[in-house]
A and B are shown apart, each in its own frame.
Chain A
Amino acid sequence: MTEHITEQPATYDEWLDAIENGEAFYLESPAGHGSLPPRRVCPHSGSTDLIQEPLPEIGAVETYTVVHVAAEKFNDDTPYVSAVVDFGPVALTGILRGVDPEAVAVGDEVTVTVEPRETTDDRLVVFRPA
């Protein structure tokens, strides 16, 4: 029986806090694979040796959609652009603001920030044009 493991690489809220403070990070395994918290095991290598590394500042839109019908906690946010953005070691999902929804294209360069949701004021991962 091993000792109780209590320390984790980071919580989800700590990850959001870090983005808000301009210190966005991802978790890296010794082999260089990226993942996101909460996580104890690297999904690529299986390593449990995860450390925080700075997230690259600029990501590229991998895919996107303009959402017109939302879940109830996003009703006042519609229409909004959902995007998966590739930052290299990890990709993130969020809402792309500050763009013309009709003009978004795969490959567009963006930065990540945390802003409130319009419907509930909860914290939200938001992308802005780089």
Chain B
Amino acid sequence: MSTVRIAGVGLTLFGAHADRAGRELFAAAALAAFDDAGVDRTAVDQLNYGNFMGALAEHQGHQAPLMAEAAGLQCPATRYEEACASAGVAVREGVRAIRSGEADVILAGGMERMTTLDTSRVTAALAIAADELYEVRAGVTFPSAYALMAQAYFERFGGSREELAHIAVKNHANAVDNEFAQYQKEITVEQALDSPPVATPLHLYDACPITDGASAVLLVSEAYADEHNIDAPVSITGSGQGGDNLALQDRTEIAQTPATTAAAEEAYADADISADDVDFAEVHDCFTIAEVLAIESLGLFEPGEGISAAREGKTTADGEVPINLSGGLKAKGHPVGATGGSQIVEVTRLLRGDHPNSEAVDDATVGLTHNAGGTVASAVVHVLEANQ
């Protein structure tokens, strides 16, 4: 199977961009990726674009060709929608297209505008990724859905709000030096515990912020990289995707996320590695409890042990498996349809040594991305490796 190389990566600052249209945000990320890659825009075979709620936030459907135009591309473009895993799927389908031999150069990534909506409207917009009949009409929001998962986890394995707070504190600490992060500031456990409740046991500081932003990753075949003498020191060596029932009520398991496990098992087998080989990971921490569920379902920690990993220093920058060195969705921000691409950007920069937090993983060769949709009814996992 042919290797897929990452030739270049680009991001916008994550945050509130009231005066920037979505097309301009994506163009900025795309141009940064081309600049990073040193590849001409005319080489692109297709654009794989992730976006979730553009029809609600910007009243803009049919976004993919618009984004291709904005980025200066003349190629077919397709939007991938898998809620918060949209860009993860866009990258995965790019990897598959290159491996199949049908494409050599693919721009993948995504964009989301969210700050165009006030809090109750953005809450309603995000909720459409849940089951409309059985969850949304019953008053379930995304924070409350993850709160239901958190309570189920606490019931089964034990856990406390303080342990969740340590995850928020860790991810904020990691974001301080990340020039693309929405919150480049530290917080304390006390601040997190004292923040107002959103859906118990989750409080405001357990939740990722509302974010505008874009990500872009230029994927090339190994043959293209060699032929054009492109410096692409990081490869995607494994890709996997898993699924589950959309509604929590229909699942056999609420305190664990089997879709993540399925995606990870496929990605590990694809890359011919095991969970023990993973040096660090960017995981989908839309809420603090989501990081717990992710690192357990990825096989990085045993069930019931993920809750205390941040407090015990196992997942901090100097820990045995640093998690979310970018700041994660929690502190770096979560422009929903861009996040999966952003995770690839961050792991690439960390492995290349040009990330502000690269020192924490200077001996690392294997990084992981985990991007989840909804309450993990979709999960996409990628294994990235520094070329030996």
Residues of A within 8 A of B (CB): 12, 35-36, 38, 43, 62-75, 77, 80, 82, 84, 90-95, 106, 117, 122, 124-125
Whose C-beta in chain B lies nearest to the C-beta of A125? B138
A70 with B200: CB separation less than 8 A: no
Q: Which of B120, B140, B250 contacts A82 (CB 8 A)?
A: B140
A contact residues around B249 at 8 Å (CB): 84, 90-93
Whose C-beta in chain A lies nearest to the C-beta of B123? A71
Residues of B within 8 A of A (CB): 119-121, 123-124, 127, 133-141, 143-144, 147-152, 155, 196-202, 245, 247-250, 254
- Those 9 A-B pairs whose CB atoms lie nearest each other, nearest first: A65-B147, A71-B124, A72-B120, A63-B152, A91-B249, A66-B200, A65-B199, A93-B138, A63-B151
CA distance A71 to B119 in the complex (A): 8
Q: Which of A12, A63, A74, A106 contacts B149 (CB 8 A)?
A: A63
Q: Which of A43, A62, A93, A124 contacts B135 (CB 8 A)?
A: A93
CA distance A83 to B144 in the complex (A): 10
Given A65-B200, A67-B147, A106-B151, 19 extra CB contacts under 8 A: A12-B133, A36-B250, A43-B250, A63-B254, A67-B141, A68-B196, A69-B119, A69-B199, A70-B123, A71-B123, A72-B121, A74-B139, A82-B138, A84-B249, A90-B249, A93-B248, A93-B249, A122-B137, A124-B138
B contact residues around A117 at 8 Å (CB): 139
CA distance A75 to B254 in the complex (A): 26
Most buried by B among A66, A74, A80, A94: A74
Closest Cβ–Cβ distance, residue A120 to chain B (whole Å): 10
B148 with A84: CB separation less than 8 A: yes
CA distance A12 to B197 in the complex (A): 33
CA distance A62 to B154 in the complex (A): 12
B contact residues around A38 at 8 Å (CB): 133
24 contacts between A and B (CB under 8 A): A43-B250, A63-B149, A63-B151, A63-B254, A65-B150, A65-B200, A66-B200, A67-B144, A68-B199, A69-B120, A70-B141, A72-B120, A72-B121, A77-B139, A82-B140, A82-B147, A84-B248, A84-B249, A84-B254, A93-B138, A94-B139, A106-B155, A125-B137, A125-B138
CA distance A95 to B139 in the complex (A): 7
Whose C-beta in chain A lies nearest to the C-beta of B131? A93
Whose C-beta in chain A lies nearest to the C-beta of B135? A93
Closest Cβ–Cβ distance, residue B226 to chain A (whole Å): 47
